[in-house]
């Protein structure tokens, strides 16, 4: 997930306004925070650390998309599946997980008997 989307989700989840976030970040006004949340600018390292503290998450969580693209253990299909999953609402995510678990269980059962 791009950092701007992550910031918007975290702000909504924590109930923080742009002004409240800006007040917690050194040398960043509301216009700068708004630019980050639109994806027009990227925060610097110190600002990332301050954002992470503000939201109560590890700094790496703000950059998870970048980190996941560098994960050699994930295939292109896994990245696509994760992106599709994240685009769903909670009910749809639950339904997709049920289907996936059912398919995984069914496939495992076939292998045992086949």
CA dist 10 and 33 (Å) reads: 13
Is the Cα torsion angle 68, 70, 72, 78 positive or negative in sign? positive
Predicted confidence band at 32 (pLDDT cuts at 50, 70, 90)?
Answer: very high
Q: pLDDT tens for residues 65-101?
A: 555 554 556 666 776 787 788 888 999 989 999 998 9
Q: For position 39, which CATH number holds?
A: 1.10.260.40
Whole-prediction pTM value? Answer: 0.56
Q: State whether 14 and 59 are in the same domain.
A: yes
Structural domains counted in the chain: 2
Domain residue limits at 10: 3-67
* % of the chain surpassing 70 pLDDT: 80
Q: State whether 13 and 50 are in the same domain.
A: yes
> Per-residue pLDDT for 27 more than 50?
yes
Q: State whether 7 and 63 are in the same domain.
A: yes
């Amino acid at each position: 997930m791009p950092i701007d989307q992550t910031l918007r989700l975290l702000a909504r989840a924590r109930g923080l306004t742009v002004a409240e976030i800006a007040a917690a970040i050194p040398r960043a006004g509301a216009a700068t925070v708004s630019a980050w949340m639109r994806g027009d600018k990227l925060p610097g390292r110190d600002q990332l650390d301050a954002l992470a503290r503000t939201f109560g998450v590890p700094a790496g969580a703000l950059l998870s998309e970048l980190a996941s693209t560098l994960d050699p253990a994930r295939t292109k299909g896994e990245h696509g599946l994760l992106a599709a999953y994240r685009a769903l609402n909670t009910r749809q995510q639950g339904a997709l997980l049920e289907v996936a678990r059912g398919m995984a269980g069914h496939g495992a059962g076939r292998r045992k008997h086949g």
